[in-house]
């Protein structure tokens, strides 16, 4: 996926880098002003801060400047903003959609964001403050407060006139929401229906009353799930009294899905929420340190277990070389099981209702694959050392490790989900540590029985 997609950007990045080296300002200006903000944001990842500043200043259109700021990742954004005078920032923000302003202000230091808000036009700043009052990850936090809402007794003709005069700032005006006299959401009409209905009809006569809506405090992932599941382009957001206060559009939903999937993967390796590749080496190290601790403690625990057997088991020197393969086979199949369960739960193809059928299936798969690989590795050991009790110990060790891993690898995320803990967060270190220690213990216990003390 990655390789092919990046090709067009690769050309753009290399062209801009070459022009920057040559100092070919007129050409750069042409390219920068012709490129889409989304593409420029990717170029910015690959050029130095002073060059980012230069390129940014070459942008002629103020809306384009705002669009680029919205597309940048957090650390590039913060670096760039440092060099922009506050008054220019205010001007740029005033040309941006409200939800994007709220997003960007949320990233800035408190003091700076307050100073910008105070300099913005009152109407804009009030809308932004409203959005900022909702949680970051909720429908309220990601909605746009601009939408088309008309009274239910409006006629089609009046509706079209109102579209011509107002609502120029609505981002994706493909649905008209219908409200009663108190502003409560009662129906929805698509622009398409409006166009094909006789001008004198009233909205309430042909609107659809079956409206999916979410509340301001609904989690953003639930919002995304609803938009995706029911194939709609925008979902209306209502407050506690069912008054329409905003909409979440499908483009934001796509961003949520892109981000969530990435976050799930990163969480599973302990890099977690909001990780950004452009963080400094030290901040990245600090962030990745804690998760590695679980593996470290597990490893230390294994060393005690092994030390115990090492001191008492005569054939320890023969058995030890197989520790990596016994533990590794368990670790690998455990990673498969937990990834399958974590993703299955996230996409809805697995359900926590079916907890036991899922776990037994993974256990059973672990057993089957454990028999296969136990045989393979046992035969290799026999070939290497010609000691049948060693070969059997190794084979059974692999079998034990792989079936335990299938069981624990699926059990842990299922239990986490039941307890309403995000299964992606803590599955991996918890699982691999437990599997490691138990595997080693089983392997040597079996060997002790078979080979004697």
Contact set for a second copy, span 320-339 (CB under 8 A) = 320-329, 331-333, 335-336, 339
Report DSSP letters for 235-272, one per residue: EEEE-TT-BEEEEEEHHHHHHHHHHHHHHHHHHHTT--
By CB under 8 A, residue 415 contacts a second copy: no
Q: What is the 3-state secondary structure (H, E, C) of 111-156?
A: HHHHHHHHHCCHHHHHHHHHHHCCCCCEHHHHCECCCCEEECCCEH
Looking at beta carbons only, is 121 or 251 nearer to a second copy? 251
Question: Which range touches a second copy (CB under 8 A), out of 105-113, 125-133, 360-368, 445-453?
Answer: 360-368
By CB under 8 A, residue 300 contacts a second copy: yes
DSSP class of 25: H
Sheet containing 244-249: which strands, arranged edge to edge? 214-215, 234-238, 244-249
Report DSSP letters for 357-387, one per residue: HHHHHHHHHHHHHHHHHHHHHHHHHHHHH--
By CB under 8 A, residue 441 contacts a second copy: no
CB of 436 to a second copy, least distance (A): 6
Buried/exposed code over 119-155 (b: 16+ C-beta within 10 A; e: otherwise): ebeeebbebbebbbebeeebbbbbbbbbbbbbbeebb
By CB under 8 A, residue 388 contacts a second copy: no
List the one residue out of 24, 56, 21 whose CA is nearest residue 37.
56
Question: Which range touches a second copy (CB under 8 A), out of 58-66, 119-127, 221-229, 236-244?
Answer: 221-229
User: How do 149-151 and 175-179 pair as beta strands?
Assistant: parallel
Contacts of 432 (CB under 8 A, 6+ apart): 294, 295, 298, 331, 334, 335
CB of 84 to a second copy, least distance (A): 22
Burial classification of residue 260, based on how many CB atoms lie within 10 Å of its CB (0-12 exposed, 13-18 middle, 19 or more buried): middle
By CB under 8 A, residue 445 contacts a second copy: no
Question: Which range touches a second copy (CB under 8 A), out of 102-110, 128-136, 178-186, 378-386?
Answer: 378-386
Question: Which range touches a second copy (CB under 8 A), out of 50-58, 83-91, 239-247, 358-366?
Answer: 358-366
By CB under 8 A, residue 453 contacts a second copy: no
Question: 108, 149, 352, 387: which one contacts a second copy (CB under 8 A)?
Answer: 352
By CB under 8 A, residue 31 contacts a second copy: no
CB of 328 to a second copy, least distance (A): 5
By CB under 8 A, residue 386 contacts a second copy: no
Question: 347, 356, 449, 452: which one contacts a second copy (CB under 8 A)?
Answer: 347
Binding mask 35-74 for a second copy (x = CB under 8 A): -x-xx--x--xx--------------------------x-
CB of 430 to a second copy, least distance (A): 12
- Rounded CA Rg of the chain: 29
Question: 164, 200, 209, 241: which one contacts a second copy (CB under 8 A)?
Answer: 164
List the one residue out of 255, 250, 248 whose CA is nearest residue 216.
248
By CB under 8 A, residue 173 contacts a second copy: yes
Report DSSP letters for 159-183, one per residue: HHHHHHHS-TT-SS--EEEEE-TTS
Question: 291, 441, 442, 443: which one contacts a second copy (CB under 8 A)?
Answer: 291
Question: 157, 184, 192, 449: which one contacts a second copy (CB under 8 A)?
Answer: 192
By CB under 8 A, residue 274 contacts a second copy: no
Question: 163, 355, 387, 450: which one contacts a second copy (CB under 8 A)?
Answer: 163
Q: Which of residues 91-150 bind a second copy (CB under 8 A)?
A: none
By CB under 8 A, residue 288 contacts a second copy: yes
CB of 165 to a second copy, least distance (A): 9
By CB under 8 A, residue 221 contacts a second copy: yes
Looking at beta carbons only, is 92 or 271 nearer to a second copy? 271
Question: 80, 105, 189, 268: which one contacts a second copy (CB under 8 A)?
Answer: 268
List the one residue out of 202, 213, 209 whose CA is nearest residue 150.
202
Q: Are 154 and 202 in contact (CB under 8 A)?
A: yes
By CB under 8 A, residue 281 contacts a second copy: yes
Question: Which range touches a second copy (CB under 8 A), out of 81-89, 100-108, 110-118, 418-426?
Answer: 418-426
CB of 296 to a second copy, least distance (A): 6
Q: Are 429 and 357 in contact (CB under 8 A)?
A: no
From CA 152, how far away is CA 174, in angstroms rounded?
17
Spell out the alpha helix ranges (H) of 269-354: 281-312, 316-319, 323-347
From CA 286, how far away is CA 278, in angstroms rounded?
14
């Amino acid at each position: 996926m990655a390789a092919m997609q990046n090709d067009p950007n690769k050309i753009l990045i290399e062209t801009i880098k070459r022009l920057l080296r040559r100092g070919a300002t007129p050409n750069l200006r042409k390219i920068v002003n012709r490129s889409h903000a989304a593409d420029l944001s990717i170029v910015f990842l690959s050029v130095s801060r002073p060059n980012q500043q230069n390129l940014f200043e070459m942008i002629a259109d103020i809306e384009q400047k705002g669009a680029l700021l919205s597309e940048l990742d957090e650390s590039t954004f913060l670096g760039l903003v440092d060099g922009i005078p506050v008054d220019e920032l205010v001007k740029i923000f005033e040309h941006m959609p409200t939800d994007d302003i709220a997003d960007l202000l949320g990233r800035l230091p408190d003091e700076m964001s307050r100073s910008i808000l105070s300099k913005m036009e009152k109407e804009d700043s009030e809308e932004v403050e409203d959005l900022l009052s909702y949680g970051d990850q909720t429908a309220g936090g990601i909605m746009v407060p601009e939408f088309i809402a008309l009274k239910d007794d409006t006629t089609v003709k009046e509706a079209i006139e109102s579209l011509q005069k107002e609502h120029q700032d609505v981002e994706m005006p493909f649905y008209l929401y219908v409200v009663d006299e108190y502003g409560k959401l009662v129906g929805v009409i698509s622009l398409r229906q409006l166009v094909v209905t006789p001008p004198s009809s009233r909205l309430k006569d042909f609107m659809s009353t079956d409206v999916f809506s979410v509340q301001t405090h609904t989690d953003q992932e639930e919002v995304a799930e609803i938009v995706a599941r029911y194939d709609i382009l925008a979902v209306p957001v209502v407050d506690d009294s069912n008054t329409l206060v905003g909409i979440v559009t499908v483009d934001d939903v796509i961003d949520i899905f892109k981000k969530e999937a990435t976050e799930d993967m990163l969480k599973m390796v302990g890099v977690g929420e909001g990780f950004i590749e452009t963080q400094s080496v030290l901040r990245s190290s600090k962030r990745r340190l804690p998760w590695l601790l679980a593996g470290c403690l597990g490893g230390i625990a294994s060393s005690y277990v092994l030390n115990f057997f090492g001191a008492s088991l005569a054939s320890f020197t023969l058995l030890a070389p197989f520790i990596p393969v016994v533990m590794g086979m368990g670790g690998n199949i455990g990673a498969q099981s937990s990834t399958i369960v974590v993703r299955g739960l996230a996409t809805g193809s697995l359900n926590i209702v079916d907890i036991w059928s899922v776990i037994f299936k993974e256990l059973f798969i672990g057993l089957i694959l454990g028999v296969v690989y136990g045989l393979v590795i046992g035969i290799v050991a026999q070939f290497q050392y010609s000691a049948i009790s060693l070969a059997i110990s190794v084979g059974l060790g692999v079998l034990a490790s792989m079936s335990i891993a299938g069981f624990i690898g699926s059990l842990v995320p299922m239990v986490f989900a039941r307890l309403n803990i995000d299964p992606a967060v803590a599955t991996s270190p918890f699982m691999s540590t437990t599997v490691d220690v138990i595997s080693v213990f089983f392997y040597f216990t079996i060997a002790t029985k078979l080979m004697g003390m």
